[in-house]
């Protein structure tokens, strides 16, 4: 039996190590992080807590000497723990030739552990880590003593969770911690399969193993299409089960994103398996999917089980958390109390680190929890004792409240589409009247109407069996609109980032015709970030304000092509990864008659040179302008960004055209153009000299002598081909010396088919600010004081424009 002194010394040493690690991570974080003094969100109830934001004047490097003694407790650390401490604090030893981190030089800044960057364990977190260490200490006790402790802990946690989730007479199983939450949930599903095998095959499975499958029928596992987890290989390796059926989903507009079990198809599959002599083992359903928050129809599945065959019914999902409400939905409680087991990632819901995933299940004849399974409930005994059942219910109800408030706020913004909700206003009103439970997850995005129009047009062409070219054009238009919709939502994501962080809002790729969308799941983040209603309200207010900019930009984009037609010197260019109005390229008059497809290298240099200078001068007036690269034509262009008022569009386009004209007529531009022409003339002269030298070499020396040359030419005259005499013409537009036969051929073709300049609407975005055209016209920039050309990055972030 352990003495009090031994226990006290062990706990003290564990706490000393934790405090040392936390303090050194905090010191290194504040020394090397530029944002170490920024404000943070503190969680009192979760296991993670941001450390105090005090300034640190100097940080001691990690070394053997500094880690030998804890400053707070004075407990000496053995060298092996000293080495482990360094490995936890820093990851600068990863990838090095030596496996030991102690001998590494400290010339590289100490890198914090990535999984807990900027976070510090709270009192609950430290208690959980300490209790996990004490689990090994309990193993050292006598058999009766440790069995008694484990049984007491197990019974206590069983009672708490059975009452909390209204699952009477259930037993608890804590999954082994894994690298990800999905793997831990998979272990919980595996335990449910183990129980189903015992319940379905009885004692034969324990004694005969796979032979019982041959005698009684091969087991079949049915999986919901909303599980988002591949368990086939896991079940095959762990239990020898090869028949894993992903059930068909109900066909709907959202089925390509996430589907629910089609219970009618499931009933047909069940009949086929029974006729084939197979044995239905378990069905794994989802209540509260991770993307759309949908539920499999568990009541229908229970009816099928009652009529057809007895099988184990296991559920997982986030909507199970609604069972903990003080006043839960009676129908939900009645239906879910009839399932056989449920896996709950409650540690994620409460923001508790180091706590295992919980599986509640009904009693199975012949199954008794082992000592290790009982002792694994220790972290949840600590957490439930620290938080109390009331605090746990408060945290879960707060998450659903945040979802309800967010839904109400989003429903008031008509430009926002909530995926999966047809009438958000009516749905929100019903939730506030307690007719429905608030959704566990909200997926929303900017409702770009042009996408829906393009989808409908494409469907109409297919139904009418139009020609292939028309369908291809419709597909191209649809893809362009989908891309631009993604650019707009990506721009919204960046603009809402400060308001999104306290709520854990992120973006996901839905696929298909849905693209990028925002995902808000307060159950996963509210406890960790201490999210509250004020955070939601600030997010909704910011979204409402920024939506005005998006709407103005989309409206301006539709008018952009028509407005540009009034300025023939501007050409629309297609660019990518841009959410603004579009991009134009100012074409100097010397190149205007040339088709963009036929621009040569020198012409592209002239155009890019002028447009880069144009962007430089525009940015001095309006920081919203930026330069970009049109990969299609290989030239630089002027990008318009987001616009706060569509009325500013005409002034912006006019300002670009006037500025371009000023630069084109400026002495600086003419001098640079003259330099380009001079370089072209010199290059042409060198080509002529080289050609003449080549001609002399081909004709030979005899033909160059005055009298002898005439005799040789008379004796062996040169053919026109061998003479290689071509007419020459210097093109002032390109600065190149061209052969006259090529020139005449080009002129003949141009007379037959006049060149056309492609004028496609670009997909890239930009954002403008103030368009002060009148001030610019009255105060033109002096040519002698013009700043040098400066190229601006095309990846510049868009900023909202201020209306003039």
Q: Do both 637 and 583 map to the same domain?
A: yes
Q: Do both 433 and 468 map to the same domain?
A: yes
Q: Which of 251, 530, 241, 307 is nearest to 399 (CA)?
A: 530
Ramachandran angles phi, psi of 245, nearest 5°: -105, 120
- Taking only the tens place, the pLDDT of each residue in 434-456 is 889 999 999 999 999 888 888 88
Query: Would you say residue 103 lies in a domain?
Result: no
Q: Supply 723's token pair.
A: 């003479």
How far apart CA 703 and CA 713 sit, in angstroms, is: 7
Residue finishing a domain among 361, 387, 413: 387
Query: Would you say residue 171 lies in a domain?
Result: yes
What pLDDT does residue 451 have? 86
Stronger pLDDT, 504 or 645, i.e. the higher one: 504
CA torsion through residues 563, 566, 570, 571, sign = positive
Ramachandran angles phi, psi of 237, nearest 5°: -75, -35
Q: Do both 477 and 575 map to the same domain?
A: no
Question: Domain holding 247: CATH number?
Answer: 3.40.640.10
What pLDDT does residue 458 have? 82
Q: Supply 771's token pair.
A: 């368009």
Strands 120-121 and 48-49, by their bridges, are antiparallel
In Å, how far from its chain's centre is CA 85?
34
Average confidence (pLDDT) over 644-664: 87
Answer whether residue 284 shows pLDDT above 60: yes
Q: Do both 374 and 257 map to the same domain?
A: yes
Residue finishing a domain among 552, 583, 618: 552
What pLDDT does residue 722 have? 57
CA torsion through residues 679, 684, 687, 689, sign = negative
Answer whether residue 163 shows pLDDT above 70: yes
Question: Domain holding 503: CATH number?
Answer: 3.90.1150
Q: Do both 369 and 233 map to the same domain?
A: yes
The two counts, helices (H) then strands (E), for the chain are 27, 19
Q: Do both 337 and 366 map to the same domain?
A: yes
Half-sphere exposure of 293 (CA within 13 A, CB side): 23
What pLDDT does residue 67 have? 38
What pLDDT does residue 517 have? 94
How far apart CA 726 and CA 351 sit, in angstroms, is: 82
Instruction: Give the pLDDT band of residue 783 (cuts 50, 70, 90).
Output: very low
Instruction: Give the pLDDT band of residue 709 (cuts 50, 70, 90).
Output: low
Q: How many CB atoms lie within 10 A of CB 443?
A: 24
Best mean pLDDT range from 69-78, 142-151, 347-356, 786-795: 142-151
How far apart CA 416 and CA 548 sit, in angstroms, is: 12
Ramachandran angles phi, psi of 228, nearest 5°: 55, 45
**Cα separation of the two ends of the chain:** 81
Average confidence (pLDDT) over 176-183: 81
Share of the chain above pLDDT 70, in %: 70
How far apart CA 614 and CA 144 sit, in angstroms, is: 85
At a CB cut-off of 8 Å and minimum separation 6, what does 710 contact? none
Q: Do both 383 and 402 map to the same domain?
A: no
- Flag the least confident range among 94-98, 339-343, 525-529, 788-792: 788-792
Instruction: Give the pLDDT band of residue 694 (cuts 50, 70, 90).
Output: confident
How far apart CA 544 and CA 740 sit, in angstroms, is: 64
How far apart CA 613 and CA 384 sit, in angstroms, is: 66
Task: Identify each DSSP E strand in 179-331 by its residue range.
Answer: 219-223, 243-246, 279-286, 312-316
- Flag the least confident range among 646-655, 667-676, 689-698: 667-676
C-alpha dist (Å) from residue 97 to 84, 100, 203, 565: 18, 9, 53, 64
Q: Do both 524 and 652 map to the same domain?
A: no
Residue finishing a domain among 387, 410, 437: 387
Answer whether residue 275 shows pLDDT above 80: yes
Query: Would you say residue 514 lies in a domain?
Result: yes
- Taking only the tens place, the pLDDT of each residue in 457-488 is 888 888 887 778 888 888 888 888 888 899 89
Q: Do both 408 and 380 map to the same domain?
A: no
CA angle 653, 655, 659 (to 5 degrees): 125
At a CB cut-off of 8 Å and minimum separation 6, what does 410 contact? 416, 418, 424, 442, 444, 540, 543
Mean pLDDT of the residues in the chain: 77
Q: How many domains does the chain have?
A: 3
- Flag the least confident range among 217-231, 341-355, 523-537, 699-713: 699-713
Query: Would you say residue 575 lies in a domain?
Result: yes
Q: Do both 414 and 374 map to the same domain?
A: no
Q: Do both 530 and 644 map to the same domain?
A: no
Look at the block and give the residue holding tokens 């925002």: 518
Q: Do both 212 and 348 map to the same domain?
A: yes
Query: Would you say residue 719 lies in a domain?
Result: no
Query: Would you say residue 741 lies in a domain?
Result: no
Query: Would you say residue 434 lies in a domain?
Result: yes
What pLDDT does residue 719 have? 63
- Flag the least confident range among 4-13, 38-47, 157-166, 754-763: 754-763
CA angle 239, 240, 246 (to 5 degrees): 90
Q: Which domain holds residue 599?
A: 567-671
Tally of residues, the chain = 804
């Amino acid at each position: 039996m352990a003495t009090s002194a031994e226990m006290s010394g062990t706990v003290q040493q564990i706490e000393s190590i934790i405090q040392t690690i936390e303090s050194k991570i905090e010191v290194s974080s504040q020394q090397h992080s530029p944002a170490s003094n920024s404000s943070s969100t503190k969680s009192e109830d979760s296991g993670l807590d941001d450390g105090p934001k005090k300034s640190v004047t100097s940080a001691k490097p990690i070394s053997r000497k500094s880690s030998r003694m804890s400053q707070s407790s004075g407990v000496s650390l053995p060298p092996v723990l000293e080495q482990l401490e360094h490995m936890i604090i820093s990851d600068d030893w990863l990838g090095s030739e030596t496996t030991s981190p102690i001998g590494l030089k400290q010339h590289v800044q100490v890198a914090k552990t990535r999984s807990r960057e900027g976070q510090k364990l709270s009192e609950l977190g430290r208690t959980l880590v300490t209790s996990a260490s004490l689990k090994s200490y309990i193993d050292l006790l006598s058999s009766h003593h440790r069995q008694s402790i484990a049984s007491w802990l197990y019974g206590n946690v069983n009672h708490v969770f059975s009452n909390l989730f209204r699952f009477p007479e259930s037993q608890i199983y804590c999954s082994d911690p894994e690298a990800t939450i999905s793997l831990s949930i998979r272990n919980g599903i595996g335990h449910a399969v183990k129980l189903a095998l015992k319940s379905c095959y009885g004692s034969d499975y324990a004694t005969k193993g796979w032979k019982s499958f041959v005698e009684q029928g091969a087991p079949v596992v049915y999986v919901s299409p909303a599980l988002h987890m591949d368990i086939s290989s896991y079940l095959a390796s762990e239990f020898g089960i090869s028949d894993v059926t992903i059930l068909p989903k109900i066909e709907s507009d959202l089925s390509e994103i996430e589907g629910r079990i089609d219970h009618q198809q499931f009933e047909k599959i069940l009949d086929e398996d029974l006729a084939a002599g197979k044995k239905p083992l378990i069905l794994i359903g989802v209540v509260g999917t991770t993307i759309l928050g949908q539920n499999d129809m568990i009541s229908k599945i229970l009816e099928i089980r009652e009529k057809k065959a007895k099988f184990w019914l296991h559920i997982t999902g986030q909507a199970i958390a609604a069972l903990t409400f003080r006043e839960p939905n009676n129908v939900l409680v009645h239906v879910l109390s009839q399932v056989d087991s449920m896996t709950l990632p409650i540690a994620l819901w409460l923001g508790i680190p180091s706590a295992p995933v919980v599986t509640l299940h009904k009693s199975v004849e012949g199954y008794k929890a082992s000592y290790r399974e009982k002792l694994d409930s220790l972290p949840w005994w600590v957490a439930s004792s620290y938080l109390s059942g009331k605090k746990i219910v408060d945290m879960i109800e707060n998450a659903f409240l945040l979802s309800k408030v967010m839904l109400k706020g989003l429903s008031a913004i008509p430009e926002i589409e909530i995926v999966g909700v047809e009438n958000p206003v009516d749905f929100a009103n019903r939730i506030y009247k307690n007719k429905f439970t608030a959704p566990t997850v909200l997926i929303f995005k900017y409702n770009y109407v042009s996408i829906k129009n393009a989808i409908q047009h494409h469907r109409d062409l297919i139904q009418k069996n139009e020609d292939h070219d028309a369908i291809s054009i419709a597909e191209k238009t649809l893809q362009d609109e989908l891309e631009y919709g993604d650019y707009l939502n990506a721009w919204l994501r960046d603009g809402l980032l400060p308001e999104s962080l306290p709520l854990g809002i992120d973006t996901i790729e839905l696929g298909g015709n849905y693209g990028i969308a925002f995902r808000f799941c307060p159950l996963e983040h509210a406890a960790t970030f201490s999210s509250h209603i004020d955070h939601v309200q600030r997010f909704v207010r910011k979204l409402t304000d920024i939506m005005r900019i998006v709407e103005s930009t989309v409206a301006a984009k539709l008018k952009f092509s028509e407005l540009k037609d009034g300025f023939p010197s501007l050409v629309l260019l297609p660019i990518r990864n841009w959410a603004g109005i579009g991009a134009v390229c100012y074409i100097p008059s010397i190149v205007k008659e040339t088709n963009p497809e036929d621009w040569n290298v020198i012409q592209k240099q002239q155009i890019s040179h002028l447009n880069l200078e144009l962007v430089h001068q525009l940015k001095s007036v309006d920081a919203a302008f930026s330069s970009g690269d049109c990969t299609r034509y290989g030239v630089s262009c002027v990008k318009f960004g987001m616009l706060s008022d569509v009325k500013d569009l005409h002034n912006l386009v006019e300002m670009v055209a006037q500025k371009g004209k000023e630069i084109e007529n400026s002495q600086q531009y003419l001098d640079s153009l003259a330099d380009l022409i001079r370089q072209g003339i010199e290059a042409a002269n060198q080509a002529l000299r080289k050609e003449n030298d080549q001609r002399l070499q081909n004709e030979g020396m005899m033909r160059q002598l005055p009298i002898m040359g005439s005799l040789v030419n008379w004796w062996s005259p040169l053919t026109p081909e061998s003479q290689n005499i071509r007419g020459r013409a210097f093109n002032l537009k390109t600065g190149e010396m061209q052969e006259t036969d090529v020139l005449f051929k080009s002129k003949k073709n141009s007379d037959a088919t006049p060149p056309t300049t492609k004028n496609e609407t670009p997909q890239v975005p930009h954002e403008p600010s103030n368009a002060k055209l009148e001030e610019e016209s009255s105060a033109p920039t002096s040519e002698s004081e013009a700043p040098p050309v400066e190229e601006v990055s095309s990846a510049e972030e868009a900023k909202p424009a201020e209306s003039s």
